[in-house]
DNA sequence: GATGAATGAGTGTTCATTCAT
DNA sequence: TATGAATGAACACTCATTCAT
């Protein structure tokens, strides 16, 4: 892709994820990229088009990761459960929640989903519905193979995901995404996951 | 308080909670209150002052409610646990999370905490730290009196609060605060609480 | 009416009538009125609203003049024909075609009616249809009282009005409306009218 | 001529004649021709140069037609009057007023002559002065050979041309040049011409 | 208490044009 | 021949704020 266009996208993502779409002006972006405002309109139809391209790219990444997970889930047999778990850690935590690009988009969605219907939809889908649905399927599997006794896999998914979501909001979606914050998130999240499965096994 | 001033505060809160502080103009507020823009400046130094007064009012409410809870906690003895539970439901759920005023402020904080340091602090304190701390104390009590075996009350607090927080974000802080959304939240939250204490008792 | 608002309307009319609506910027108007651009938006919702107010004022003037003429026509009897003729000269020529305000609007319409549907309608109505209709009625009357033999009053109206329309375009709607141009128009128009009625009488 | 250049000229004429010169952007033209904006500047020095070339072409066409008419007039003798009449219908009506190219230019001139001195001159010359002058000469001839009694051939020219000019404005220079409009014009114009000469003969 | 009037700074966007390739 | 990339100047419009009344 064109170099300037990519710079604009990068700068826009940085700024949007920190202040939201509407609070960032074309001028702000241009200051970072060091081009004139009119030049932006060579690469993008309008401000919204920058956002659209960022969101579209995010959705293609997220779609890909999620389909990898679905794939892993559908091919999982008793003996491969460990692999599924590893895949979830890799695709959902590292490459999704903690990935710099995805994370910035999520913070942007967190800001704008209040006043923008389209972003509300994307937010709900990728932050709530999709993860919870997938995790529900995972727990259904664990129930069906007898690892877990409880039948309400939907509630299990909430119990599993809610603390992670809380840590996300606490450490990943606040201010600048520092390594420190990332570390806080990782520690708390993994501690929770371990505890969760320990208790699960206990039941 | 002056009637017009109160009208301005009400209109501002409505609009701020739906679109965020910076996305709402003085014009927008005045359209609702049916006054001229310059009149606002008789009652408030500037736009920020409206926000400040709203936040201050929220903090006084929240402080009061929380101190009621702390009070209830400190006077709780074995026999009064049910009263404490009722108090939490009343002061934390009904009068705090689901109270119209508090809820609007929280949604406003949810929007603006990304780009505003002061609101970030208020958000973290009243949405994360304060509730989690209080609930940690409650679980400590329950442990100390032998109702609960597990010792990690901090993690218990997260496990208890995180689903509620997720439901808040899902049903209370999205779009307009309809009775339907409130009902969704209430159902899901209370179902979780009941399940939580059932499991707790089981352990 | 507010003084500044009136100044804006005057300046806008001057500029619009010379260059057309879209070729005139808010800046241009402000330079003339000596106010800042943002001040315009205190008095008018947007640029279009200035135009709308000008057109509306024109239409109220024109409506009034035309209803005076219709009135005069309906009360005309054989002996009052001279009065009707005088009324037409006064209301149609002096106060309509050659009136400064109306004339400027007509020139503006002449420019913009090509690319603006609403203005096309106004142009057609006030420049073509209304005058031709009225004049057709006048000739019908003259036929009915036996002054004129020919029955095709519609064509008579065209023959009467077309040269006037041509002189309008030639002298009134070109460049600045100077007294010289006005005089050219008046001379040619009245010469035509006299000739026209002389021939009429002859037939 | 270069193919692309011709395409640009065609597209420009279409657009200019509908919206005027300044309301049409290089972008608009390029969208039609399907080239990039910068390419235009290979063929033309600037936007104005496109207009100049269009106008120049029109003037050469018009000059040619008019000199044909002058030629026809100068060689006309009593017996050839019918041929002159036919020539006028052909060269002035069909190939000039109703010719697609000329018509578009005339509409463009009609729009821009208000704010552009050069186009004002061209407009006056080719729409008013030249036709009226020629027709004056024709009527002088008709007077000199005794067909017409009246001596004021200038006024005769106006009486002849003004209705045609009015029909032009009414049917040819408004909106898109449809066949329907063309037909309206033709009917009304020829009806006028016939009537005109009938009356003439009668006198 | 309230408002009419004004304004400086800023916003997204369009446009004709240039120039190296 | 054509275009990718850039830009300065302009545009309509918004906004928070001020101040005299």
Is the pLDDT higher at A78 or at C38?
C38
CA-CA distance, A171 to A182, in Å (whole number)?
7
pLDDT at D198: 84
As a whole number, the mean pLDDT across chain A is 91
For A103-149, how does the pLDDT look when each residue is reduced to its tens digit (9 = 90+)? Answer: 999 999 999 998 899 999 999 999 999 999 999 999 998 888 877 77
Does the pLDDT value for residue C202 go beyond 70?
no
Chain C residue closest in CA terms to D127: C170
As a whole number, the mean pLDDT across chain B is 91
What is the rounded average pLDDT of the residues C170-175? Answer: 86
CA-CA distance, B99 to B103, in Å (whole number)?
6
Least confident of A35-49, B166-180, C123-137, D60-74: B166-180
Residues from chain B that touch A193, judged by Cβ atoms under 8 A, are none
Nucleotides of E under 7 A from a protein CB: 1-20
Distance C112 CA to E17 C1' (A): 27
Chain length of chain D? 203
Is the pLDDT higher at C135 or at A145?
C135
What is the rounded average pLDDT of the residues C118-128? Answer: 95
Residues from chain A that touch B155, judged by Cβ atoms under 8 A, are 191-192, 195
Footprint of strand F on the protein (CB under 7 A): A 2, 4, 35-39, 41-43; B 24-27, 37-38, 40-41, 46-48; C 24-28, 37-38, 41, 45-48; D 2, 4, 35-39, 41-43
Q: Vertex D115, ends D113 and D120: CA angle to 5°? A: 30
pLDDT at A82: 79
Encode B147-184: b = buried (16+ Cβ within 10 Å), e = exposed. Answer: ebeeeebebbbbbbbbbbbbbbbbbbbbeebeeebbee
Q: Which domains does chain D possess? A: 55-201 (1.10.357.10)
pLDDT at B42: 97
Which alpha helices (DSSP H) does chain C contain, by range? 3-19, 26-33, 37-43, 47-74, 81-88, 100-112, 117-123, 130-144, 153-167, 179-202
pLDDT at A202: 66
- The answer to whether B151 faces chain A, any CB pair under 8 Å, is no
User: Under the phi-then-psi rule, with left for phi > 0, alpha for psi from -120 to 50, and beta for the rest, what region is B22?
Assistant: alpha
Packed helices A153-167 and A179-202: angle between N→C axes, nearest 10 degrees: 160
pLDDT at A203: 56
Burial class (CB in 10 A: 0-12, 13-18, 19+), C50: buried
Residue D40 approaches strand E within 7 Å at CB:
yes
CA-wise closest residue to D21 among C114, C168, C103 = C114
pLDDT at A158: 95
Does the pLDDT value for residue D129 go beyond 60?
yes
C 18-37: CB within 7 Å of strand E: 35-37
pLDDT at C83: 84
- The answer to whether D49 faces chain C, any CB pair under 8 Å, is no
- Judged by DSSP in three states, B79 sits in helix
> Which of D:103-142 have CB within 8 Å of C?
107, 110-111, 113-115, 120, 124, 128
Distance D107 CA to F13 C1' (A): 32
Cα of B62 to nearest chain A Cα, Å: 20
Does the pLDDT value for residue B34 go beyond 90?
yes
For A28-78, how does the pLDDT look when each residue is reduced to its tens digit (9 = 90+)? Answer: 999 999 999 999 999 999 999 999 999 999 999 999 999 999 999 888 776
What is the rounded average pLDDT of the residues D122-126? Answer: 95
Distance D99 CA to E7 C1' (A): 54
Least confident of B194-203, C31-40, D91-100, D104-113: B194-203
Is the pLDDT higher at A63 or at B182?
A63
Do chains C and A meet with 3 or more Cβ pairs nearer than 8 Å?
Answer: no
Is the pLDDT higher at C123 or at B81?
C123
List the single residue in C20, C107, C162 with the smallest CB-CB distance to D162.
Answer: C162
CA-CA distance, A52 to A58, in Å (whole number)?
10
Does the pLDDT value for residue B32 go beyond 60?
yes
Residue A41 approaches strand E within 7 Å at CB:
yes
pLDDT at B128: 95
């Amino acid at each position: 892709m064109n170099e300037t266009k990519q710079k604009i996208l990068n700068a826009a993502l940085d700024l949007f994820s920190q202040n939201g779409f509407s609070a960032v002006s074309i001028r702000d972006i241009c200051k970072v990229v060091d081009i004139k405002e009119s030049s932006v309109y060579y690469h993008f139809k309008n401000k919204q088009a920058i956002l659209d391209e960022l969101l579209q790219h995010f959705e293609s990444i997220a779609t890909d990761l999620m389909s990898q997970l679905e794939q892993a889930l559908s091919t999982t047999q008793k003996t491969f459960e460990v692999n599924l778990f590893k895949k979830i850690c890799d695709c959902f935590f590292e490459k999704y929640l903690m990935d710099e690009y995805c994370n910035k988009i999520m913070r942007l969605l967190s800001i704008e989903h209040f006043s923008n219907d389209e972003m509300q939809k994307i937010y709900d889908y990728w932050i709530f519905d999709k993860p919870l649905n997938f995790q529900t399927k995972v727990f259904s599997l664990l129930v069906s193979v007898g690892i877990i006794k409880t039948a309400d896999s939907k509630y299990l998914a909430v119990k599993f995901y809610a603390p992670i979501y809380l840590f996300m909001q606490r450490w990943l979606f606040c201010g600048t995404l520092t390594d420190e914050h990332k570390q806080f998130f990782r520690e708390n999240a993994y501690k929770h996951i371990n505890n969760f499965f320990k208790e699960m096994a206990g039941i």
